[in-house]
Amino acid sequence: MSIQLPPSAAPRSTYPVDVLPYPVRERLLELARDETPVSAYLYDGEVAAERARELMAALPPWAAVYYAVKANSFPGVVAALAPHVDGFEVASVSELGLALGTGERARIVAAGPAKSVPVLTALVRAEVEAINAESPLELHRISRIATAEGVTARVALRVNPTAIPVTGALHMGGVPSQFGVAEPDVPEVLRTAARLPGLDLVGFHVHAASGNLDAEAHAAYLRWCLDWSVRTARAHGLDLRHVDVGGGIGVAFEGEKPFDVARFGELAARAEPPPGVRVLLEPGRYLVADCGWYAAEVTDVKTSYGRHFVILRGGINHFQLPTSWDIVHNVAVLPVERWPAGCPRPGVADAEVSVVGELCTPEDTLLRDVRVDRVRAGDLVVFPNAGSYGWEFAMHSFLGHPVARRHLL
pLDDT tens per residue, range 17-52: 999 999 999 999 999 998 889 999 999 999 999 999
Contact 261, 45 (CB under 8 A): no
| CA–CA separation, 89 and 334 (whole Å) | 36
Residue 76's Cβ-count burial label (10 Å; 0-12, 13-18, 19+) is middle
Residues 23 and 64 in one domain: no
Number of domains in the chain: 2
| CA–CA separation, 295 and 319 (whole Å) | 10
Statement: residue 170 has pLDDT above 80: no
Average pLDDT over residues 392-403: 88
Is 12 part of a structural domain of the chain? no
Quick one: pLDDT at residue 112? Answer: 93
Last residue of a domain, one of 259, 288, 317: 288
- Helix 93-100 / helix 117-126 crossing angle, nearest 10 deg: 20
Of 46, 36, 5, 93, give the one whose Cα is nearest residue 326. 5
The alpha carbon torsion through 156, 157, 159, 164 (nearest 10 deg) reads -40
Average pLDDT over residues 61-85: 97
Is 228 part of a structural domain of the chain? yes
Is 61 part of a structural domain of the chain? yes
Q: How far is C-alpha 110 from the geometric centre of its chain's CA atoms?
A: 15
Residues 283 and 304 in one domain: no
Residues 143 and 87 in one domain: yes
Residues 175 and 195 in one domain: yes
Q: What is the secondary structure of 2-70 as a DSSP string? A: ----PPB-TT-BPBPGGGS-HHHHHHHHHHHTSSSPPEEEEE-HHHHHHHHHHHHHHS-TTEEEEEEGG
Per-residue pLDDT reduced to its tens digit, 115-161: 999 999 999 999 999 999 999 999 999 999 999 999 999 999 999 99
| CA–CA separation, 86 and 53 (whole Å) | 11
pLDDT band at 176; cut points 50, 70, 90: confident
Average pLDDT over residues 312-322: 93
Is 8 part of a structural domain of the chain? no
Residues 79 and 133 in one domain: yes
**Domain interval for residue 169:** 45-288
Quick one: pLDDT at residue 44? Answer: 98
Residues 249 and 382 in one domain: no
**Least-confidence region, from 144-153, 245-254, 263-272:** 245-254
Sign, CA dihedral 349-352-356-362, equals negative
Task: Specify the CATH number for the domain of residue 358.
Answer: 2.40.37.10
Task: Specify the CATH number for the domain of residue 280.
Answer: 3.20.20.10
Residues 257 and 360 in one domain: no
199 strand-pairing partners: 153
Average pLDDT over residues 94-116: 93
Is 9 part of a structural domain of the chain? no
